[in-house]
Structure 1
Amino acid sequence: MAKQHDDRPDFTPYTGPSGGWGSMRSLADIVPREKNPVETSAELLRQNKHDGFMCVSCAWSKPYPPNPAEFCENGAKATAWEITSQRVTPEFFRANTLTALREWSDYRLEEAGRLTHPMKYDAASDKYIVVPWEMAFKEIGAKLKSLAPKSVVFYASGRASLETSYMYQLLARMYGNQNLPDSSNMCHESTSVGLKAAIGVPVGTTRLEDFDTTDCILHFGQNVATNSPRMLHQLRSARKRGVPIIVFNPLRERGLERFTDPQNPIEMATGGETRIATQYHQVRAGGDLAAMMGMAKWLIEHDRIDHDFIAEHTHDFDTFAAKARATGWDEIERESGLTRDALSMAAEVYGRANATIAIYGMGLTQHVKGVDNVRMLVNLLLMRGNIGKPGAGPTPVRGHSNVQGQRTVGITEKPELAPLDKFKQMYGFEPPREKGLDTVEACRGVIDGSVRGFVSLGGNFVRATPETRLMEEGWRQLDLSVQIATKLNRSHLIPAQGDTWLLPCLGRIERDLQETGPQNVTMEDSTSVIHPSFGKVDPASPHLLSEPAIVAGIAKETLAPNPNVPWDKWVGDYALVRDQIAEAFPNFFERFNERLKEPGGFWKGNKATGREWDTPSKKAEFIVPDVLNATGFTDTDGRYRMLTVRSNDQFNTTIYGYSDRFRGINGTRQVVMMSPADIAERGLTEGQKVTLVGDAEDNVSRRVEGLMVVARDVPKGCIATYYPECNPLIALEHHAEESHVPAAKSVPVRIEVEAVVD
């Protein structure tokens, strides 16, 4: 059984592969713990199927035809977590004040179960009390009407459907702002900015079938076994065909080393496994720019570039090539932490390949130079013509299951990314034209008091963002906090000085019965394929409303009536919302309802796959980076580069348990992973408790105490800690320069040794 937080910590290294019996034992633990094993088992057979439901965790693509069991360990945990039989009822809140609940762990809060009733915070008792839905909508609408529209934020996590997201962004714009940050701002906005500037589209260009024809895979800064385990099937199949997989990642992650397929009876019976990485390069945190520059330098020096493609399809290669030639190997080795021989070996394999996929995650995007990281990766692909042909292209791995789709249908703070003129024509109102607040700007507003109201469509915003202490202090000064959620989390326990509302919604796996019958919703995966999703499980409570119904309820009490916006009809029939999406975004969603019948979903299209470059030059653009250190700070004596990571018992801020099996860390998340060399150099011992101190040069105190030292294979000068426990160490202004993504993969910190108490 997985260890929980009150068990004695165990740091025994894990020697097994990813997948295999370890995954099966993990599922055998969580399914009965959620006390709904029969229904969970039945629903897992519908997971990621065309007539079933789309996984509520990651956004990795769904094959067609699907495997009989088209779910992974973490996806199964997410399903069990959502359809748990445990409930957070009014009796729960009568027994617990928010002050008391703030002492609970993240795990314990969500493990308490599904929320059952709409609630309002009562300051006198420090408790949530039950209120009727009608009262909630009326009072929220009245409060919103009393606030200046520009002072209110409409945040969206990545799980809401396309239908809900479209209605939500329309509510915000009709209310009078484009303050529409979402979880993309926290992770892959560097992708949206970088790819758009380089190749004219803000998303990856590959599809699942490209894995069948690729002959090389580059893999940067993405822990597949934790964040997108189903991708291991594509990686395994590629390796079986002899495709080299070259990995660049600071930590040695088991899913990138070895994998046993739980759906392969022979491997399960014999203990067979597939080696994933053919080369594994432990780049320093923030050193990917230098590593990629080294590969580019080798390709140029050895003339392994596609001259015809570069001449026809790209702009400014000569400037980039001159920079690569002039960059010395000493600088490349120092900044990357890798040797010239290692980078040459990687470049030589890449230089022989005809079609290469480049997979990456937040290990590239969450740096001060995160956009440069993305564009440098595009440089590598362009050098060999690896965009716009089968088996090749950039493959950013998104997190939340519909975070990419939300941006597609208008959840964006950037006016140029929304069809504002079309909205004006369709709905007869004047949309705001100025840029809205992104996540970092919204946090600034919470801290400085300029943000007065915050509506959150899912998520755990206060816990997920940097600058935890100042964010919690600012949150308490809000005039309005509205939290739409399925389970209790830390953000719900920080009440505003004004009104605080907790509005429980249906989960995606639950039956959504509206006026015209059962409804299905839709979402977009990481490869731009749109899928339907059908919930069939009985709702956790008869008092729950669907997300579209909650958005509509707030909108009707906040906005003036508009005959062009029939909120009630949309709630009664989500197909009508899809018709609106098709009208507003015809290039992506023409014949939306009809195309949903296509087995395996439908691809929304991508100009760059046809080598049509929507850039100012009408060609793909090379970037010339000005530095090779993506961290945004310099190394000094005693300063470490901290990267935050997730365990395999976690999805974003949701903690399923305290067993990080692959890293051999069980029973606690309060750890700091260090190299044995750094431990010895500092005179520390494994298991010793230390304090991490933020080392941003802004005179703000940031500390996380009580972290246990664990020796792991980490590059010297780098340390790894868990997200979100170490978010308090991240300065709000430590973010990607162009995209404002918090730079959580390279944070300057120092270590203080804690006094031993007898």
Structure 2
Amino acid sequence: MPSRPTPAEETAAIEVPEAAGGWGSLKGIGAIELSQAAGPGAIETLSHLNKPDGTACTSCAWIKPASPAAFEFCENGAKATLWDLTSARAEPEFFAAHTVSDLRQWSAYDLEREGRLTQPLRYDAQSDKYVPTSWAEAFAAIGAGLKRTDPKAMTFYASGKAALEPSYLYAAFARMLGHNNLPDSSNMCHETTSVGLKKVIGSPVGTCQIEDFEHCDAIFYLGQNPGTNSPRILHPLQQAVQRGCKIVSFNPLKEAGLVEFVNPQSPLQMLTGKATRLSHLYLQVRPGGDIAALMGVCKHVFARAKQEPELLDKGFIAQHTSGFDAFRAKVEATPWGALEQASGVTQAEMEAAGDVYAEAKSVIGIYGMGLTQQVRGSEAIGLLVNLLLLRGNIGRPGAGCSPIRGHSNVQGQRTVGITEKVALAPVEKYREVLGLETPGEDGHNTHAFLEALLAGRNTVYVGLGGNLAMAVPDHGRVHEAWRRMDMTIHIATRLNHTHLLPGKASWILPCLVRSEEDMQATGNQFVSVEDSFSHIYSSKGRRQPASEHVMSETAIICEMAKASLPPHPKWRWDEWRGDYTLIRELIAQTYPDQFHDMDNRMHAPGGFYRGNDARNRVWHTKSGKAEFTDPGALNAGPDSDALRLITLRSNDQFNTTIYGLSDRMRGLEGERTIMLISPAEMARQGLTEGQRVTLVTAMDEDTRRAVGDLKVVAYDLPDGCVAGYFPELNPLVPLSLRDRLSDTPASKGIPVRIET
């Protein structure tokens, strides 16, 4: 049986301090407004956020509804927008006063507090400083550098924030240069979905629509923290619970956003402080324990089905699935003791979850990086799909699979061509629409890029946003190799640590944020984004740009392409830069089934749905059916008896952007160099509250990976694991520790030991 803390031990751990939402959310927004001084126009910008023909929020990929509320944003969205609209400016005088070596020692928080970049910068190796340059000089030098570089030696990385128009051109530009080296931020988080989900249902994205949340009877919620990472989902969760839906949560930490929610848009809840309890059951699984926990749920459903033959949807299983008998035999042959040991939860807890599933007509499965960032993350996704298939919970109202994406357009970038795989690129349409012969060799994802970087084969890096060097594993080895590249180019809004690892030549090209006007030859331009429900929306900025010298991402890509590529009658860079409608025409011609009449349809309230065959029970799998899968292990983590480290994000953080040092929904304040651990595990390890320790990766490799000076904090966690913040603990993640199918780093199950 898994061990449990005694009551005395439980009281020593930090409990969930408050419900998600409520006055704490408003205070969090207010703190960012005060720190960034975004100005009186910020309120107007927020009022247009996620409204028809307004600005699409950059903080997540949730919907832009057809009938929006008065305030259609959450704490995260407000923080991201106010952060973008800061009055602080990183002027040339700032860079003249600081060397790159000095700035490399600054925290991420202190770097970003300097504010928006205002003009192009060139790295001067002699002075070790970034110095002002002109756009003409930058583009000429970048063009010359790209021309003389072997295409296989360059990487074009894309952060998930760039809209569809620049993303389409960026992917085409890379292929015009002669390579498919197009990793994006999904490689760090949800590539496991794109690969694993596609393997079992034939779709790389979720099957649900927002209206399904109005009809579901149960929601199984795994490995995601909505209070911190996607607060807007709390509204439909609350509404579902209020009409009788039961939520079963699987997470090592008891996160506030899955426990209780006070709706900031409800005057009654705000005045009374009365929260809605969200989770009907909360299973605190071990890291990676979701496979075994889900198998336990299935085991109980199979046991009940022996007395209730109608419980399983036999017609659906026979017509639409493959591999059912083998899966059932595997589950029934697996003893409860093995499932308890691997999952960290009891048989009674798994049976209670099985009862909720069995008694619900329609069930939605939601998951996040707790599933995807595991060594066997793809298999964990497969187990969730197995559970849904038992009762036909894919392809009908109120049911389906709904992964929660973080970046606002990371799904859309893949849709319009940012992929390293030739098989996923629109090869024939490129030939027809652009006169482009696509390179025939697959490029590399982020993992392959890092391998090439370490081997000295990758010499040029272009980053369309993001802070990749801090987001990747193995900082010690990777950062040293990063600085050996010939050229690094960064399209960015603020300074971050990736910019402080310059190659022999390095350029920072400042770009607009989404809420700013994008004035081109034909006026202020719209862009478009895709949400996690596969809807496409327009987005238009209204604020004055941070500087007259910043350019849009689309304009920067067009100018780099002009400087790097030979003339071609179908490559109309000046026209595309001047009128983004022409780019949308290219997208519509390249993907006619999904994007026909795109320029008109994206302005409709609620945007337009590009479709998902799996939602219609059309399965693009090897068998032509949805696949029941048999996991290779009961725990999705590495084969190790060491402690498991889970990396987390705080309430005052968006990816690698650190807004402040408050993690109020976990009761943690003022410091990010911490290690959370259960009181029982603390006692076993001989540690005391507040002690400083070092975490060391416990893998048989030549390289020692360690992060020191971590403060020990007692917390309500399962035994056998510890937790700490991303990206500070990324140096502990070996490049070799990744999902076996997708190469996604296994950052939710790192084997570690504690050194005092």
Q: Which category of TM-score, normalised to the shorter sequence, fits these structures?
A: over 0.9
1:453: which partner in 2?
Answer: 460
Partner deviation per Cα, 1:146-178 (whole Å, 9 max, x = no partner): 111001000000000000000000000110111
2:510: which partner in 1?
Answer: 504
For 2:204, the aligned partner's letter is P
2:549: which partner in 1?
Answer: 543
Q: Which of 50, 63, 66 in structure 2 is aligned with 1:64?
A: 66
SS of structure 1 residue aligned to 2:48: coil
Alignment of 1:523-534 (within 5 A): 523-534=529-540
Alpha-carbon separation, structure 1, partners of 2:382 and 2:113? 41
Q: Retained in 1: the 8 A contact 2:39–2:87?
A: no
Q: Retained in 1: the 8 A contact 2:676–2:713?
A: yes
Alpha-carbon separation, structure 1, partners of 2:721 and 2:728? 17
Alpha-carbon separation, structure 2, partners of 1:195 and 1:626? 17
Deviation at 1:46, TM superposition (A): 0.8
Structure 1 length normalisation: TM-score? Answer: 0.97
1:6: which partner in 2?
Answer: none
2:482: which partner in 1?
Answer: 475
Q: Retained in 1: the 8 A contact 2:53–2:603?
A: no
Alignment of 1:674-685 (within 5 A): 674-685=677-688
Percent identical pairs in the alignment equals 51
Q: Which of 705, 709, 713 in structure 2 is aligned with 1:702?
A: 705
Q: Which of 403, 408, 423 in structure 1 is aligned with 2:410?
A: 403
Deviation at 1:440, TM superposition (A): 0.7
Q: Which of 570, 587, 590 in structure 2 is aligned with 1:564?
A: 570
Partner deviation per Cα, 1:482-505 (whole Å, 9 max, x = no partner): 000000000001111x21010000
Alpha-carbon separation, structure 2, partners of 1:385 and 1:364? 22
| RMSD over equivalenced CA pairs, Å | 1.0
Deviation at 1:13, TM superposition (A): 5.6
Q: Retained in 1: the 8 A contact 2:16–2:255?
A: no
Alignment of 1:417-436 (within 5 A): 417-436=424-443
Deviation at 1:134, TM superposition (A): 1.0
Partner deviation per Cα, 1:541-594 (whole Å, 9 max, x = no partner): 000111011001111111111111101101101010001001111121011112
Alpha-carbon separation, structure 2, partners of 1:741 and 1:588? 28
Partner deviation per Cα, 1:710-756 (whole Å, 9 max, x = no partner): 00001000111100000000000100001000000000111000xxx
For 2:300, the aligned partner's letter is W
Deviation at 1:215, TM superposition (A): 0.9
Alpha-carbon separation, structure 1, partners of 2:427 and 2:233? 37
Q: Retained in 2: the 8 A contact 1:14–1:661?
A: no
SS of structure 2 residue aligned to 1:266: helix
Alpha-carbon separation, structure 2, partners of 1:634 and 1:95? 48
2:6: which partner in 1?
Answer: none
Deviation at 1:525, TM superposition (A): 0.6
Alpha-carbon separation, structure 2, partners of 1:12 and 1:221? 20
Deviation at 1:35, TM superposition (A): 1.1
SS of structure 1 residue aligned to 2:231: coil
Deviation at 1:12, TM superposition (A): 7.2
Alpha-carbon separation, structure 2, partners of 1:695 and 1:444? 21
SS of structure 1 residue aligned to 2:755: strand
Q: Which of 441, 449, 463 in structure 2 is aligned with 1:442?
A: 449
Alpha-carbon separation, structure 1, partners of 2:437 and 2:232? 44
Alpha-carbon separation, structure 2, partners of 1:459 and 1:175? 22
Alpha-carbon separation, structure 1, partners of 2:281 and 2:375? 27
Alpha-carbon separation, structure 2, partners of 1:699 and 1:591? 56
SS of structure 1 residue aligned to 2:528: strand
Q: Which of 599, 612, 622 in structure 1 is aligned with 2:605?
A: 599
For 1:505, the aligned partner's letter is C
Q: Retained in 2: the 8 A contact 1:13–1:665?
A: no
Q: Which of 102, 111, 126 in structure 2 is aligned with 1:109?
A: 111
State whether structure 2 residue 496 is matched by structure 1 residue 489: yes
1:555: which partner in 2?
Answer: 561
Structure 1: runs of 5+ lacking an equivalent:
1-10, 754-758
Partner deviation per Cα, 1:437-469 (whole Å, 9 max, x = no partner): 101111111112111110000000100000011
2:154: which partner in 1?
Answer: 152
SS of structure 2 residue aligned to 1:278: strand
State whether structure 2 residue 387 is matched by structure 1 residue 380: yes
1:735: which partner in 2?
Answer: 738
For 1:236, the aligned partner's letter is Q
Partner deviation per Cα, 1:50-72 (whole Å, 9 max, x = no partner): 12101111111232211101111
Partner deviation per Cα, 1:258-291 (whole Å, 9 max, x = no partner): 1100110011111111001010000000111111
Structure 2 length normalisation: TM-score? Answer: 0.97
For 2:122, the aligned partner's letter is K
For 2:498, the aligned partner's letter is S
2:277: which partner in 1?
Answer: 275
Alpha-carbon separation, structure 2, partners of 1:701 and 1:624? 35
SS of structure 1 residue aligned to 2:40: helix
Deviates more, 1:292-301 or 1:385-394: 292-301
SS of structure 2 residue aligned to 1:751: strand
Q: Retained in 1: the 8 A contact 2:405–2:532?
A: yes
For 2:299, the aligned partner's letter is K
Partner deviation per Cα, 1:17-53 (whole Å, 9 max, x = no partner): 1110111111121102111241212211111111210
Deviation at 1:616, TM superposition (A): 2.2
Alpha-carbon separation, structure 2, partners of 1:363 and 1:227? 12
Alpha-carbon separation, structure 1, partners of 2:41 and 2:671? 30
Q: Retained in 2: the 8 A contact 1:63–1:208?
A: no
Alpha-carbon separation, structure 1, partners of 2:665 and 2:545? 35
Q: Retained in 2: the 8 A contact 1:220–1:359?
A: yes
Q: Retained in 1: the 8 A contact 2:317–2:390?
A: yes
Aligned residues: 739
Deviates more, 1:591-600 or 1:670-679: 591-600
For 1:687, the aligned partner's letter is G
Q: Retained in 1: the 8 A contact 2:189–2:372?
A: yes
Alpha-carbon separation, structure 1, partners of 2:116 and 2:482? 24
2:92: which partner in 1?
Answer: 90
For 2:353, the aligned partner's letter is A
Q: Retained in 2: the 8 A contact 1:357–1:395?
A: yes
Structure 2: runs of 5+ lacking an equivalent:
1-12, 306-310
